Amino acid sequence: MKFKRILLKLSGEVFEGDKGFGMDFKKILEFAKEIKDVRKSGVQIGIVVGGGNIWRYRDFSNVEFLERTDSDMLGMMATVMNSVVLSSALKKCGVQSRVMSSFPCESLCETYNIANAKKYLELGEVLIFAGGTGSPFFTTDSASALRALEMKCDVLMKATKVDFVYDKDPVKFKNAKKFETLKFSDVVKMKLGVMDLTCASLLDEGSIPMLVFNLTKKGNIKKAVKGVKVGTLISSK
Ligand code: UDP
């Protein structure tokens, strides 16, 4: 295996499937089965889940009476909902899994703590980091960079619906340029939009590579973990 400990970032899009909102439970269960398969190979797996399928600040920014900080908190709560559903699906598949939230949700899951989180990963549990960073004005991309650094992961794998990073939308533009490798500085310079700037600078500084890959192709996570080239590898050097 090329990677021993991975951090997988799943956006809310993954959870909504083709429904455009909410949860596609069939897709979530299929995904849990794929995680099970990867876990069997001995890789330690942490997952950061987005919340955009339920609540995203920018989708509700026109609601004048809603404070940005409250709206962001709702987004973070949405990530907790997704995390609990994913953890349940994993358990159903026989995978030991646990949710840790960045803010207290005591009756539902544990509060995040670096030392305990490391212990759970070492014990082989699939650990789901819920609640983003716990602070407004951030995204779950930044949360995933933060957790990847704190957990000393070998790679941050960002699941998308396309195979590679392109300079423009490959669905709309036939001449879109595909990148197999990139530097974080290129992402910033070219404003590629594959991650936000906080995420890029955290990973760059911590020398943790990001692999952007297509989750809709079955078996891709396992291939990537084995070192087979899938997707765009973004690194510091
Ligand atoms: N959010 C936040 N702080 C964080 C992570 C998320 O305030 O550390 C809020 C923010 O409002 C965001 C929403 O939660 O729009 C959902 O997260 P994100 O947009 O990253 O989810 P994704 O697009 O990956 O589904």
- Ligand 1 lined by 56 (C-beta under 6 Å): yes
Predicted local distance difference test score (pLDDT) of residue 41 = 93
Q: Is the CB of 50 inside a 6 Å radius of any atom of ligand 1?
A: yes
Average pLDDT in the 93-105 region?
Answer: 98
Tell how strand 155-160 and strand 110-111 pair up. unpaired
pTM: 0.96
The Cα 98–Cα 106 span in angstroms is 13
Q: Which residue has the tokens 């991650």?
A: 195
What pLDDT was estimated at residue 158? 96
% of the chain exceeding 90 in pLDDT: 91
pLDDT of res. 18: 86
| Angle of CA points 114, 116, 120, to nearest 5° | 115
Q: What number does the ligand 1 atom closest to the CA of 134 have? A: 8
For ligand 1, say whether the CB of 82 is within 6 Å of any of its atoms: no
Residue 56 CA, ligand 1 centroid: distance in Å: 6
What tokens does 110 get?
A: 């544990």
Q: What local confidence, expressed as pLDDT, does residue 34 receive? A: 95
- What is the number of the ligand 1 atom nearest to the C-alpha of 73? 7
Q: 81: CA distance to ligand 1 center in Å?
A: 13
Q: Is the pLDDT of residue 29 over 90?
A: yes
Q: What is the pLDDT of residue 20?
A: 87
Place of tokens 């962001």: 72
Ligand 1 pocket mutation pick from 140, 194, 212 by most atoms within 8 angstroms of CB: 140
pLDDT for the residue 162: 85
Chain position carrying tokens 């340029």: 177
Asked if residue 8 lies in contact with residue 45, where contact means CB atoms within 8 angstroms, the answer is yes
Q: How far is the CA of 1 from the centre of ligand 1 (A)?
A: 31
Indicate if ligand 1 lies below 6 Å from the C-beta of 101: no
Q: What is the pLDDT of residue 19?
A: 87
Stretch 108-117: mean pLDDT:
98
Nearest atom of ligand 1 to the alpha carbon of 11: 24
Q: Residue 111: how many CB atoms within 10 A of its CB?
A: 14
Residues 6+ apart with CB under 8 A from 94: 36
Q: How confident is the model at residue 114 (pLDDT cuts 50, 70, 90)?
A: very high
What pLDDT was estimated at residue 17? 87
pLDDT, average across residues 76-102: 98
